């Protein structure tokens, strides 16, 4: 999340717009059968979960596995257009297929993939039939890449997927099912932002 000055804040709270978006999504009919919420521990995800759960009143579990991609520490509290920040972002993607590449202390592809695999295993083993997950855009796209490509996933396949699929809208709804294989049914549904409740 960035503020109005485009400063990257490490654990930013929801903006007023973000709070309104969370209120709108909380009434989604997609959530009616949900039995539990699994949420990122980041402040904006926690706040989103709390707003949604005023409507749903479900048990909530927080997990560090669901946080957004860890960026190089030096990027925080700097402008996104800072030349050093832009160079680090370029090198991240230029070296995405290099398993051991690190610009600094950020997560690389191997680490993101391992974390996403753990998330999917946890979800598969849960006793509930319908789970609401509150997470962040980049790690969500890594999860989707794994769901869609499954055993055929490679760094190059994942990178191509990341570069081709649009970024999600805040509070965009993605729905997937698992019955031995993952199937993505809905991607980035944000009708609630267009038409309200």
pLDDT recorded at residue 166: 87
Q: How many helices (H) and strands (E) does the chain have?
A: 7, 5
Residues β-bridged to residue 2: 8
Name the architecture of domain 17-70+113-195: 3-Layer(aba) Sandwich (3.40)
Tokens of 172: 């965009």
Question: What pLDDT, in 10s, does the model give residues 169-180?
Answer: 999 999 999 999
pLDDT exceeds 90 at position 142 = yes
Question: What pLDDT, in 10s, does the model give residues 64-105?
Answer: 999 999 999 999 999 999 999 999 999 999 999 998 899 999
pLDDT > 90 fraction of the chain, expressed in percent and rounded: 90
The DSSP H or E segment spanning 161 is helix 155-164
pLDDT recorded at residue 81: 94
Question: What is the value of pTM for the model shown?
Answer: 0.93
pLDDT exceeds 90 at position 37 = yes
CA distance 194 to 197: 9
Which stretches does DSSP call E strand in 2-144? 36-40, 60-63, 131-134
Give the DSSP letter of residue 177.
E
Contact 194, 163 (CB under 8 A): no
Q: Give the 3-state secondary structure of residue 164.
A: helix
pLDDT recorded at residue 4: 41
For range 7-27, the mean pLDDT: 93
For range 48-52, the mean pLDDT: 98
C-alpha distances in Å from residue 123, one per residue of 99, 120, 143, 152: 26, 5, 12, 20
Question: What pLDDT, in 10s, does the model give residues 110-130?
Answer: 999 999 999 999 999 999 999
Tokens of 66: 């669901």
CA distance 124 to 61: 15
Give residue for tokens 């860890």: 70
């Amino acid at each position: 999340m960035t503020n109005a000055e485009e400063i990257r804040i490490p654990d930013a709270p929801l903006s007023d717009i973000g709070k309104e978006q969370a209120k709108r999504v909380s009434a989604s009919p997609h959530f009616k059968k949900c039995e539990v919420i699994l949420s990122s521990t980041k402040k904006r995800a926690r706040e989103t979960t709390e707003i949604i759960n005023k409507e749903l009143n479900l048990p909530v579990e927080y997990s560090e596995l669901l946080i957004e991609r860890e960026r190089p520490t030096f990027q925080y509290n700097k402008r996104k257009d800072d030349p050093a920040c832009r160079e680090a972002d370029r090198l991240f993607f230029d070296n995405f297929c290099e398993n051991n590449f690190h610009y600094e202390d950020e997560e690389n592809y191997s680490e993101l993939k391992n974390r996403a695999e753990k998330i999917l295993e946890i979800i598969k083993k849960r006793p509930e039939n319908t789970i609401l997950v509150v997470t962040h855009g980049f790690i969500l796209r890594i999860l989707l890449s794994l769901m869609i490509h499954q055993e055929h996933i490679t760094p190059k396949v994942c990178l191509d997927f990341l570069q081709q699929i649009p970024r999600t809208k805040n509070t965009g709804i993605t729905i997937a099912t698992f019955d031995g294989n993952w199937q993505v049914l809905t991607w980035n549904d944000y009708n609630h932002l267009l038409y309200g409740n």
